[in-house]
Amino acid sequence: MVNKKSIRGKAVVIGIGTSPLGRVPGRSPLWLAADATRNALVDAGIDKMQIDGVMSGHSFASPFHRFNVALSEYIGIQPTFSNTYQVSGATAATLFNIAAAAIDTGLAETILISMGDSLLSGLTPDMALRSMTESRDQQYEMPFGIPVSNTFAMTAARHMKNYGTTSEQLAEVAVIHREHAMNTPGAQMTKPLTVDDVLSSKMVSTPYHKYDCSLVSDGGVSFIVTSAERAKDLGIENPVYILGGGECYTHEHIFKKEDITTTGAKRSSELAYARAGVTADDIDTAGVYDCFTGTVIMMLEDLGFCPKGEGGPFVSDRQITYGGKIPINTHGGLLSHCHPGIPGSLLHFYEVILQLRGQAGDRQLQGPELGLVHSLGAGFATNATTILGTESTL
């Protein structure tokens, strides 16, 4: 039974837009976010002055701590509801969950969700590594050089030990994502990839090779979210409804996590499914945070798409692509499409929304009605899930 206090169907996405993606030299994070916003407004068919809420995340290459305020000033609006959120990779789904709640409670009528970053051209490799390392605990982690890749590598190594997951199964995740990217205009990496290519690429942090790891990119993405009632007044023909969301925050330090092969995705998705009134078996397509290949395998398990410990065989059986049980990241994800930080995880929403609208072109699935997006960050510490649906799911 759906909770009477649920946000189910109260808010809809009426506009989506991106900036150029991949390598975009000479463009600031603000410019990238603003360009994506312009495209989202055109898609929604509304003027920027109709926006009364702005929500964004943290930019690594921008000096602005209040990116939401800087972006509002940059595009020339003065919202009455505005926040910048920082829960690492989980920020993306959190933004959608809170936007729906804010609209439902009357804090805002039309919200811009927007983010831009320039990790590839705006930061040197040393600066990028330092920013990731400095996000760890200053006393217990940073002095020992535990960047993001090491943290996630530990979780994959434990999963391999506990459940027999293999390097070949990890590599298959990267191969499938590359296949998806090859059908996506503007994807950063479109050269065919094989399991052998992944396994022969240089080792980054055992068991992860280079192609087990996500890209570094520039880019921006924006969404216009409003109430279902206002969408009808505007005559929006194909709104995508926010049906439910859930979040779970399990730890700050990886050494405090009791089981590093199970994440807060299990709890956040359980909440999202219950609030949306659906189950994992009902989902037609998903955006699953794919910073590393092993992360995808564990997310598939925790989100309920396959039993715990069976994520490796699930991927090997090609259950995450066309014709499989749950096609995920049909644009190529962070592994092959692009990964400009928080905008990268927001691009999972962009792709799922395109699929639900029937606008994904050559990579379009057949009639999807329900989509899930899961965002994860901080070494499995932060998790947020959002369920999206077409009008037929109400």
CATH number reported for the structural domain that contains residue 224 in this entry: 3.40.47.10
Q: What is the pTM of this model?
A: 0.95
The verdict on residue 150 lying in a domain is no
- 151 within a domain of the structure (yes/no): no
Compute the distance between CA of residue 249 and CA of residue 263 in angstroms, rounded to an integer.
9
List all residues 6 or more positions away from 176 whose beta carbon is below 8 Å from its beta carbon: 315, 318, 320, 321
Task: Please compute, for residue 309, the number of CA atoms within 13 A of its CA located in the half-sphere on the CB side.
Answer: 4
Residue 136 lies in a domain: no
b/e map of 142-155 (b: 16 or more CB within 10 Å)? eeeebbbbbbbbbb
Instruction: Return the pLDDT at 1.
Output: 44
Q: What is the pLDDT of residue 130?
A: 63
Residue 3, domain member (yes or no):
no
Whose CA is closest to 207, among 148, 254, 152, 153?
A: 153
How much is the pLDDT for 124? 74
Cβ burial 271-305 (10 Å sphere, 16+ → b, else e) = bbbbbbbbebeebbbbbbbbbbbbbbbbbbbbbbb
> Contact 381/316 with Cβ under 8 angstroms?
no
- Tell the burial category of 310 from Cβ atoms under 10 Å away from its Cβ (0-12, 13-18, 19+): middle
Counting the structural domains of the chain, the total is 1
What residue type is assigned to position 159 of the chain?
H
Which residues constitute the domain of residue 75?
11-123+215-393
For residues 125 and 145, give the distance between their C-alpha atoms in angstroms, rounded to a whole number. Answer: 15
Is residue 187 one of the residues assigned to a domain?
Answer: no
What end-to-end distance do the CA atoms of the chain give, in Å? Answer: 14
SS3 assignment for the chain: CCCCCCCCCCEEEEEEEECCCECCCCCCHHHHHHHHHHHHHHHHCCCHHHCCEEEEECCCCCCCCCHHHHHHHHHCCCCCEEEEECECECHHHHHHHHHHHHHHCCCCCEEEEEEEEECCCCCCHHHHHHHHHCCCCCCCCHHHCCCHHHHHHHHHHHHHHHHCCCHHHHHHHHHHHHHHHCCCCCCCCCCCCCHHHHHHCCEEECCEEHHHECCCCEEEEEEEEEEHHHHHHCCCCCCEEEEEEEEEECCCCHHHCCCCCCCCHHHHHHHHHHHHCCCHHHCCEEEECCCEHHHHHHHHHHCCCCCCCCHHHHHHCCCCCCCCCCCECCCCHHHHHCCCCHHHHHHHHHHHHHHHHCCCHHHCCCCCCEEEEEEEECCCCEEEEEEEECHHHC
The CA distance from 129 to 113, in Å, is: 27
Residue 203 in any domain: the answer is no
Q: Is residue 207 part of a domain?
A: no
Return d(Cα 85, Cα 58) in angstroms, integer: 7
Nearest Cα to 144, choosing from 253, 295, 292, 291?
A: 253
* pLDDT score recorded for residue 121: 92
DSSP bridge partners of 115 = 221
* Sign of the dihedral through C-alpha 13, 17, 21, 27: negative
User: Digits of tens for pLDDT over the chain (394 positions)?
Assistant: 445 578 899 999 999 999 999 999 999 999 999 999 999 999 999 999 999 999 999 898 888 889 999 999 999 999 999 999 999 889 999 999 999 999 999 999 999 999 999 999 988 767 766 665 556 666 766 666 666 778 899 999 999 999 999 999 999 999 999 999 999 999 999 999 999 999 999 999 999 999 999 999 999 999 999 999 999 999 998 899 999 999 999 877 676 677 888 899 999 999 999 999 999 999 999 999 999 999 999 999 999 999 999 999 999 999 999 999 999 999 999 999 999 999 999 999 999 999 999 999 999 999 999 999 999 988 788 999 999 999 999 9
- Do the domain assignments include residue 304? yes
Cα Dmax for the chain = 56
Give me the amino acid identity at 52: D
